[in-house]
Structure 1
Amino acid sequence: MARFSSVKGQYVYVEVNGIEYKVYFEENGQGIPLVCQHTAGCDNRQWRDLLEDPHITKHFRVIAYDLPRHGKSDPPHGVEWWKEEYKLTTEFFVQFVRQFCEALDLENPVFMGSSFGGHAALQLALEYPDYFRATIPVEAADHTPGFYQEWWHHPHTHGGEVCASGTWGLMSPQSPEKDRRLTWWYYSQGAPGVFKGDLYFYSVDHDLRGKLHQIDTNKCPVYLMTGEYDYLSTPEDSKRTADQIPGAKFIKMNGIGHFPMSENYPLFAQYLEEVLQDILKREKALPN
């Protein structure tokens, strides 16, 4: 007999600054909403194993979306998006996440993002501490300059292969080859200029230096998680960031690189379980 996944996918229309976006997302589970953002230039396929993890979906409603222009999510409707260069900004990113959560009528979700999604998690903790139950910045730091480069989108290169191959050395050599190959495969399918446009936020517009102390972890706990093989946002960068946020927690993930949820999910899940259990314990400790 055929075997079917319990994960369900659908579209939702999200409006940001008066412009409508048709956004694809997948979900599974019940309980506390756990909203997941993929890495720059990729899509929600990175979260497939998490979406099907019964230990997590027993207590969390896991929701993984494709940012507009990524995966199955369209560019903006009603505007001539093809006439301008795509550059993801902090203002749009945080507004989009908030509006996406509002569109799904989520009550105090947890937000987890990786790489540029991890940067967004820090921004959200600063901007919306009363709305988000907690944020989990994965492979994140206060500032990561230097990666917004022309060669990510250039007529002399094959964009898909260049972007995908740029991810290879960021993964741990101990991670299973089949999963590293899939991570490479996902990246090879990004639309032209999208990875570069994402890196505008990652390396240029995201800068929380001098602002981290303003994050209130009494309202919105922050858990930074970084793999030891990540050379974009190193464990030292993430720890330095966590040390500037009063009450934030930092976890160094041994044996993992920049794409923990897709390159070695079983190992990543062991570290993530510690964080999610802490969130559940905090919920039980709060007065009704």
Structure 2
Amino acid sequence: MAKHSPVIGRYVTIDVDSLEYKVFYLRNGSGTPLVCQHTAGCHNHQWRGLLEDPEITANYDVIAYDLARHGKSDPPLNKEWWKDEYRLTAEHYMNFIIAFCDALEIDRPIFMGSSFGGNVALQLALHHPNRFRGVIPVEAAEHAPGFYLDWWRHPHANAAQVCASGVWDLMAPQSPEMDRWLTWHYYTQGAEAFKGDLFFYSVDHDLRGRLGEIDARRCPVVMMTGTYDYLTPPEATEATARQIPGGVYIEMEDIGHFPMSENYPLFSVYLKEALRIIAERN
């Protein structure tokens, strides 16, 4: 007999800043909505372990979408997008997330993102605290300069291999080999959007001097980073959390920059603690 996953995939059409997007998302569970953003240049497949975790989905409605230009979500439908260089901005990124939540009629979800998804979680806590019951920025910091580079799409290099090779060293050696190779595989597929994502990550995202404006009483912030992440090292995440009044920092041992896909069983231990903290503060 075939073994079917309980996860369901659908498309929804949304309008963001006069652009029309057909967005693909995966969903499973019931209870408090938990909206998940993948890392730069990747797609919602990273969250499969979470989507299929019965301990989480018993109490949380888990929704993981593909950002436009990633995975099964195409570039805008009403624009000749190939004529312009893709550069993701903080404003458009936040508007996209809010439009997606509105389209699905999701009321005050918890938002969790990793890497550039973690950074936008901080942006949402600052600019839209009333729209979310909490955020979980994973592998995030107030600023991450230096990664918006031309060689991500250099004509003399295989961009997919360059992106995937950069990912490999960011994972912990203790993570299961199969999961590390799968995470590597995901990144061989998303090179075209990677550089544009990093415009947000390294250029447009800069909350230095503004973290004190985040009100964690209105929107709890629980930040988590793996000890093997040298891109956003634990001390950078901890320093960010310390500047947020009421912010919480959790260090994840023996895991790297892609915790949800490189070692989900270990990541889930830390995630349950983060969810518990947010539940207590709501």
Give the shorter-chain TM-score range: over 0.9
Question: 1:99, 1:124 → 2: CA distance?
Answer: 13
TM-score by length of 1: 0.97
Residue 282 of structure 2 is aligned to residue 280 of structure 1: no
How much has 1:191 moved relative to structure 2? Answer: 4.8
Structure 2 segments unaligned to the other structure (5+ residues): none
How much has 1:276 moved relative to structure 2? Answer: 1.1
Letter in 1 for 2:114: S
Structure 1 segments unaligned to the other structure (5+ residues): 284-288
What pairs with 1:102-117 in structure 2 (closer than 5 Å)? 102-117=102-117
Number of the residue aligned with 1:226: 225
Identity %: 63
Question: 1:88, 1:37 → 2: CA distance?
Answer: 14
What pairs with 1:125-274 in structure 2 (closer than 5 Å)? 125-192=125-192, 194-274=193-273
Question: 1:167, 1:256 → 2: CA distance?
Answer: 13
Letter in 2 for 1:253: M
* Root mean square deviation, CA, Å: 0.7
Residue 14 of structure 2 is aligned to residue 14 of structure 1: yes
TM-score by length of 2: 0.99
Deviations 1:87-138 (A, max 9, x none): 1111110111111101100011000000000000000000111110000000
Number of the residue aligned with 1:286: none
Deviations 1:158-209 (A, max 9, x none): 11111111100000011011000000000001152x1011011000100000
Deviations 1:193-250 (A, max 9, x none): x101101100010000000000011100000000001111110000000010000000
| Cα pair 2:35 2:111 within 8 Å, conserved | yes
Question: 1:64, 1:45 → 2: CA distance?
Answer: 8
Equivalent residues, number: 282
Number of the residue aligned with 2:39: 39
| Cα pair 1:134 1:221 within 8 Å, conserved | yes
Question: 2:191, 2:81 → 1: CA distance?
Answer: 13
- Partner SS, residue 130 of structure 1: helix
Question: 2:106, 2:84 → 1: CA distance?
Answer: 33
Question: 1:152, 1:169 → 2: CA distance?
Answer: 16
Question: 1:14, 1:211 → 2: CA distance?
Answer: 30
The ranges of structure 1 where at least 4 consecutive aligned residues each deviate by more than 3 angstroms after the TM superposition are none
